[in-house]
Amino acid sequence: MIRVWLKRVAIAIVALLVVFVVGVVPYWLGGMATTRRFQFPDKENANLTPASFELAYEDVAFRSGDGTELKGWWVPASPSRGSVVMVHGLNRSRIEMVKRVPFVHARGWSTILLDLRHHGASGGEATTFGVKEKEDVKAAARFARERAPGPVVLWGVSLGAASAVLAAAEDPEAKGLICDSSFRSLEDTVRHHLVLFRGFRWWLRIVPSWPTTDLSIFWIGRRGGFDPAQSNVVAAAAQLDGRPSLFVANSDDRRMPKEIAFVLKAAAGESASVLIVPGKSHGGAWRDGTAAYEAAAAVVLEAVAGGVASGAPAAVASR
């Protein structure tokens, strides 16, 4: 009788573990990645606006291709050589990009800083890792073209970088790109981050990589309402058709290793360049290596303004 009871308990425990591994964990991770609305406490940029740098700006609202309402700041330059669309990272908002605006404005470029869908003050029900966010970026570019003459450059960090590349692949009127700390694809970054998460969530250490990773990707797509296969930044970079591009990374970023920048550069072709800034942060290259970053970004802006290939070196590192 005791043996039978123990056997039943063991079977129940195994069944619960299976449900936990193949059901609860992937479903929870899928929701955490897509439908949870969380904003990182951006202390270094808190309460900043373009006015903090004595720049006039306007609060603006416009709609993405699917009707999602987007909010942002429009910072005009007069005269304007063109416009830069600045796109923040995951769980951030437009203020993440605001310290870049004086650099762009001083070179005669207007700027639009937007909150992506499901971020900041914008609408939207889910994060989709660039698949729908690319439409937000394209909408911001259309807004900029309506407000100022000249070409448009897309400049994004992390999720914003991936969204910018995906948008540029479909928008030939985006004449240049600055991609900072992007991922390769949703599938690649989910696999990589689940390995990282094991380091600070003890219960994930008992969860096997297979089938948890594949099921998590499935639920990310299902709960976010999109096809994860469409979040392929490398394939999008290959569609840039020689447009001036800069791929940026921190040298010791564990979340988005620097090797990704070189993979994207290789896909984009000879007109692209790479900037590797020493540092361990994710998306912190502007802060960690401002001078080198400004110099590399200026090459892209001047190439776009002049309508010529960038001619930037294959790799640059700040000192």
pLDDT at 24: 76
pLDDT tens-digit map of 71-110: 999 999 999 999 999 999 999 999 999 999 999 999 999 9
Residue 288: phi, psi to the nearest 5? -80, -25
Percent of the chain with pLDDT over 90: 76
pLDDT tens-digit map of 265-286: 999 999 999 999 999 999 999 9
What average pLDDT does the structure give for the chain?
A: 90
| Peptide bond between residue 172 and the one before it cis (omega within 30 degrees of 0) | no
For the chain, what is the radius of gyration of the CA atoms?
21
pLDDT at 199: 66
pLDDT tens-digit map of 117-126: 999 999 999 9
Q: What is the DSSP letter of 89?
A: -
CA-to-CA dists, residue 82 to 33, 218, 271, 305, angstroms: 35, 40, 20, 8
pLDDT at 15: 60
pLDDT at 311: 43
pLDDT tens-digit map of 59-71: 999 999 999 999 9
pTM assigned to the model:
0.90
pLDDT tens-digit map of 196-212: 877 666 656 667 677 88
User: Quick check: 167 pLDDT over 60?
Assistant: yes
User: Quick check: 187 pLDDT over 80?
Assistant: yes
Q: Name the residue with higher pLDDT: 75 or 11.
A: 75
User: Quick check: 130 pLDDT over 90?
Assistant: yes
pLDDT at 194: 84
User: Quick check: 215 pLDDT over 70?
Assistant: yes
pLDDT tens-digit map of 34-46: 998 877 888 999 9
pLDDT at 26: 78
pLDDT at 28: 82
* Dist. CA 25–CA 120, nearest whole Å: 27
* Dist. CA 211–CA 147, nearest whole Å: 49
Q: What is the DSSP letter of 20?
A: I
User: Quick check: 295 pLDDT over 90?
Assistant: yes
pLDDT at 53: 98
Q: Name the residue with higher pLDDT: 34 or 2.
A: 34
At 18, is the pLDDT very low, low, confident or very high (cuts 50, 70, 90)? low
Across the range 241-245, mean pLDDT stands at: 95
* Dist. CA 316–CA 319, nearest whole Å: 10
Q: Mean pLDDT lowest for which of 7-11, 41-45, 250-254? A: 7-11
User: Quick check: 298 pLDDT over 70?
Assistant: yes
Beta bridge partners of residue 239, listed in sequence order:
none
